[in-house]
Amino acid sequence: RVVVGNLIGEDHVNYVLMYNMLTGIRIAVSRCQAKIKRTLTDEDFTARHKYSFDILGNELTPAAKYDFKFKDYAPWVFRELREDYFHLDPSDYLVSLTAKYILSELGSPGKSGSFFYFSRDYRFIIKTIHHSEHNFLRSILKRYYEHVKSNPHTLLSRFYGLHRVKLPHGKKIHFVIMNNLFPPHRDIHETYDLKGSTVGREYPEEKAEKNPRAVLKDLNWINRGKMLELGPEKRALLTEQLRRDSELLKEVNVMDYSLLVGIHNMQRGNRDNVRRNTLKVFSPDMPPLKRKLTQLKSFSPEAIAIRRAMRESDPKRLGTSPTDTLPEVDSRDRQQLIFYQDEGGLRATDEANDLMDTIYYLGIIDILTPYGSLKKIEHFWKGLKDDRHKISPVPPPEYSDRFFSFMRAIMRGGGGGERFKEEK
Ligand code: ATP
Ligand code: CA
Ligand code: CA
Q: Among the bound ligands, name the one nearest to the CA of residue 127.
A: 1
CA 126 to centroid of ligand 3, rounded, Å: 14
Residue 330 has a pLDDT of 55
Residue whose CA is at the smallest distance from ligand 1 atom 1: 112
* Closest approach atom of ligand 1 to CA 116: 16
In this structure, are 257 and 165 located in the same domain? no
What contacts 416, CB < 8 A, 6 or more positions away? 351
Q: Is residue 109 located within the same domain as residue 194?
A: no
- d(CA 311, ligand 2 centre) in Å: 35
Distance 406 CA to ligand 1 centre (A): 19
Distance between Cα 277 and ligand 3 center (Å): 28
The helix/strand/coil state of 56 is: coil
Compute the chain's Rg from CA coordinates.
21
Measuring CA to CA, how many Å separate 250 from each of 148, 218, 254, 261, 363?
16, 21, 6, 21, 17
Ligand 1 atom with least separation from CA of 182: 29
Question: Do residue 273 and residue 146 come from a single domain?
Answer: no
Number of compact structural domains in the chain? 2
At residue 200, the pLDDT reads 86
Cα–Cα distance measured from residue 56 to residue 70, given in angstroms and rounded to the nearest whole number: 16
| Residues 129, 225 share a domain | no
Residue 185 lies in a domain: no
| Domain-ending residue, one of 179, 203, 232 | 179
Q: Average pLDDT, stretch 76-88?
A: 97
Which of 151, 179, 207 is the last residue in one of the domains?
179
> Which of ligand 1's atoms lies nearest the C-alpha of 114?
6
pTM listed for this prediction: 0.83
Q: Relative to the CA of 179, which ligand 1 atom is closest?
A: 27
CB under 6 Å to ligand 1: residues?
110-112, 114, 116, 125, 157, 178-182, 191, 193, 215, 260, 363, 365-366
Q: Output the residue whose Cα is nearest ligand 1's atom 17.
A: 193
Range with the poorest average pLDDT among 230-234, 299-303, 323-327, 370-374: 299-303
Nearest bound ligand to CA 362?
1
- Do residue 304 and residue 382 come from a single domain? yes
Nearest Cα residue to atom 24 of ligand 1: 365
pLDDT of res. 213 = 87
Better-scored residue on pLDDT, 239 or 332: 239
ipTM over 0.90: yes
pLDDT > 70 in the chain, percent: 76
Which ligand is closest to the CA of 116, given by its number? 1
- Can you give the CATH number for the domain in which 104 is found? 3.30.800.10
Q: Which of 179, 207, 233 is the last residue of a domain?
A: 179
Residues 252 and 141 in one domain: no
The yes-or-no verdict on residue 317 having pLDDT over 70 is no
pLDDT of residue 102: 85
Looking at the structure, do residues 173 and 201 belong to the same domain, yes or no? no
74, burial (CB in 10 Å: exposed 0-12, middle 13-18, buried 19+):
buried
Q: How far is the CA of 364 from the centre of ligand 1 (A)?
A: 10
* Residues 368, 286 share a domain: yes
Q: Which residues pair with 166 in a beta bridge?
A: 69, 172
- On the question of pLDDT at 187 being above 60, the answer is yes
Closest-CA residue, ligand 1 atom 11, reads 366
Which domain covers residue 79, as residue numbers?
5-179
The domain spanning residue 369 has which CATH number? 3.30.810.10
227 pLDDT more than 70: yes
3-state secondary structure of 228: strand
Asked, for residue 184, whether it belongs to a domain, the answer is: no
Q: How far is the CA of 369 from the centre of ligand 2 (A)?
A: 9
Q: Let me know whether 360 and 260 are in one domain.
A: yes
Mutating to test ligand 1, I would choose from 260, 281, 384 the residue with most ligand atoms within 8 A of its C-beta, which is: 260
Q: Are residues 118 and 240 in the same domain?
A: no
- The average confidence (pLDDT) of the chain is 82
Q: Is the pLDDT assigned to residue 335 strictly greater than 70?
A: no
Nearby residues of 329 by Cβ (< 8 Å), 6 or more positions away: 87, 152, 153, 336, 337
Q: Give the pLDDT band (50/70/90) at residue 292.
A: very low
Residue of 258, 262, 259, 260 whose CA lies nearest to 190 = 262
Give the model's pLDDT for residue 398. Answer: 94
The Å distance, Cα 258 to ligand 2 centre, comes to: 6
Average pLDDT over residues 64-87: 96
- The closest residue, in CA terms, to atom 12 on ligand 1 is 366
Q: Which residue has the higher pLDDT, 62 or 60?
A: 62
Cβ pair 420, 408 in contact under 8 A:
no
Q: How far is the CA of 368 from the centre of ligand 3 (A)?
A: 7
Position with higher pLDDT, 216 vs 292: 216
pLDDT band at 148 (very low <50, low <70, confident <90, very high): very high
CA of residue 314 to ligand 1 center, whole Å: 36
Identify whether residues 164 and 102 lie together within a single domain.
Answer: yes
Q: 362 and 257 in one domain? A: yes
Kindly state the average pLDDT of the residues 161-167: 98
Q: How confident is the model at residue 414 (pLDDT cuts 50, 70, 90)?
A: low
pLDDT band at 377 (very low <50, low <70, confident <90, very high): low
**Separation in Å, CA 343 to CA 266, 334, 347, 367:** 12, 10, 9, 25
Is the pLDDT confidence value at 267 over 80?
Answer: yes
